Each structure stands twice: as structure tokens, then as C-alpha cells.
Structure 1
């Protein structure tokens, strides 16, 4: 059940949807946490701090969450989870793996995150064109990190492309050759 190579929009659609979902989740979290801090400072410290100072502290907190939220969601959560996926990737049924099918190290997730700047150039057009033009449907961050985004059959098992060239990766064998065959 690998992604159909003849229709690259299936890959692109899932990847774009995951970015929208992640943006909404992180943005909502930043807004709610900033509002909670603002409310706590305004109500709890009403006699120590004026509303203007509480507002500034709440906005700084909101900005910190908005800047650190994507980093946590795109690097830390996929690295620490078994799924190798951000929250939006889990919802859309995709995950990041290394070209050999293994789980990416923290360095790979960090490279993908940093190179989102390149992929996001011209309102994301650079990333879209690179995804559509590469045989494995990789963006610049994936090319540099040596990763590929694949569909998942479940959270635990990626649907690896077949050896027929679908997405360009080859699945790992189910049984190792040095193990006794039954």
C-alpha cells in the first residue's frame, strides 16, 4: 500500500495537510498558553504588577511558545516517539524514516527542521517543486538528512515502498539471513 508514484499529489496533499494541522495545533497551544499566563499574571498578581506589564509578559510567553512549539513538534516529538512523526503526521498517516527503513536520529530531524527555511522559500513553492521533481518525493530537508516520508499502515509500521522503484526505497527483509529459518 505504498504511495502511488503516478499521482504525486497524494504525497504532496498529505504533507501539506500535516503542515496545516501542525500549524493549527502549535498556534492554538501558543495562544491558549499565552492567554493563561496573561490571565494568571493579571488575576494572581493584581496588586504587584499592572496590566501592561502582565500583558507584555503574557505576549513574550506566547511568542516563546510560538517559536519553540514548531521545534518541539517537528524535532523532539518525532525523535522521542516510536512513530517518528509529528502530531500532524500521525493524523495524516505519514512518518519520517531513513532511506534504509530505520528510525532517523535526532540530527536528521534537526536538519529537516533547519532546512524548512529553504523549502519554505517563495511561499513553499521551492519545497513543492522539489517534492514533485524527486523520485522519492523528498524535499530539500529530506535530501540532506537522508530521510523519506512514507505512509503508515499503523503508527508502528511504515508502508515501505516496494523494490519496483516506488519512491525509490527498498524495504528491509522480514527475516534476517543469519537467523535460523523455520
Structure 2
């Protein structure tokens, strides 16, 4: 009998919330950066630069922010932070840890990011199915990188325990009737 905290949908909603928040953050940043550059070049350098050139430079800054933003947010920020979480993960109350409970290295975050291509296939349906079908609610990137997404605050534990309703990412196992409860 699974507890309320271990329902697959609860974990899924936290992960989806993090993706929405991160997407809005990166998209808004890219648009604002492009507009600021466009406006700055158009107004500040109006005598030397035409609107067409300013627009092209603004588009270049927008594209650069749109391409580099996800890498910074999904790889660099979690790697450099103590919590192992992007901005959206912090707000959603989740973080990434290795299966042994340690903080993931840069390589693990990079693998998770690169394999988002696989998880995002068919409008994210592949990732959704994999998360719902794996015992620790891992997507393909997590499986390959050896990471798991858990609720924030569980990093202090030396080893990631077996299924535990307090982590929120792993379902509760059924105990045999004659097995002693620990």
C-alpha cells in the first residue's frame, strides 16, 4: 500500500513544475536580453547603426541566450550549487543526487542534459513513460548518469536507502508477511 507521498503522480508533478519554471525563466531571459540589446543599440548608437543591424544583433543575443540558457541552468548551476538543483528544482523542492547519495559530478549533469533529447521525444511522452515505469522514477538521463531526483534535504544521508516514502521519489516496497519489520 503506497502512501500519499509516494504516488507516481506527485513526483511527476514536481518534475513537471520544475520544467515549466525553468522554461519560463530561460525563455523570458532570452527575450529580455534580445530586446535590451536591440533597444540599446537602436537608441544608444542610432547615428552609427541602422535598425536592421541592431535587430540582427538582438536576434543573435536572443538565440545565444536561448541555446546557452538551458545548459547553464541544467548543468552549470546544479553542479556549482550545494544542493544539486536548478532554479526550477529549488522552487519545486527537488534535487539531483547520485544513487549512493553523493553530489553528482559535472559529467552526470551533462549526461542528464544531453539525454533530454531522448526523454523529450514525442513531446515528452518517452520521458513520461520511463519515469512512471522505473522504480525510482528516473528518466533515461537519470538511468544513464546514475542519478535520481529526490526531495530537497535528503543529501545528508550517507547512502540513498531503498524505497522510502520520505524521499518522495521512490515507491514503497511490499514486505513479506513473515519478514521482520525494521
Is the 8 Å Cα contact of residues 3 and 151 (structure 1) preserved in structure 2?
no
**1:157, CA displacement in angstroms?**
5.0
TM-score, normalised with respect to structure 1: 0.84
Work out whether residues 3 and 11 of structure 1, in 8 Å CA contact, stay in contact via their aligned partners in 2: no
Task: Output the CA distance in 2 between the equivalents of 1:163 and 1:104.
Answer: 19
* Corresponding residue number in structure 1 for 2:36: 36
Note the alpha carbon deviations across 1:68-104, whole angstroms, 9 max, x for none: 0000000000000001000000000000000000000
What is the SS of the residue equivalent to 2:150?
A: strand
Distance in 1 between residues matched to 2:131 and 2:163, nearest whole Å: 19
Rounded Cα–Cα distance in structure 1 between residues aligned with 2:120 and 2:113 = 11
Give yes or no for contact 2:100–2:160 (8 Å, CA) kept in 1. Answer: no
The TM-score with structure 2 as length reference comes to 0.84
- What is the aligned partner in structure 1 of residue 162 from structure 2? 163
Could you say what secondary structure the match of 1:96 adopts?
strand
* Secondary structure of the corresponding residue to residue 4 of structure 1: helix
Other-structure match for 1:130: 130
Give the match's secondary structure for 2:5: coil
Aligned equivalent of 1:104: 104
- Map of 2:51 onto structure 1: 51
User: Structure 2: how far apart are the matches of 1:165 and 1:89?
Assistant: 20
- Given the superposition, is the C-alpha separation of residues 14 and 3 from structure 1 closer, same or farther in structure 2, using an over 3 Å criterion? farther
Structure 1 residue 164: Cα displacement: 4.6
In the alignment, structure 1 segments of 5+ residues that lack a partner are: 169-182
What value does the CA root-mean-square deviation take over the aligned residues? 2.1
Q: How many residues align?
A: 164
Number of the residue aligned with 1:69? 69
Distance 1:57 1:45 in 2: 13
Matched position secondary structure for 1:104: coil
Query: Mapping of 1:82-93 within 5 angstroms?
Result: 82-93=82-93
Q: Is the 8 A contact 1:84 1:104 kept in 2?
A: yes
SS in 1 for 2:96: strand
Q: Secondary structure at the match of 1:148?
A: strand
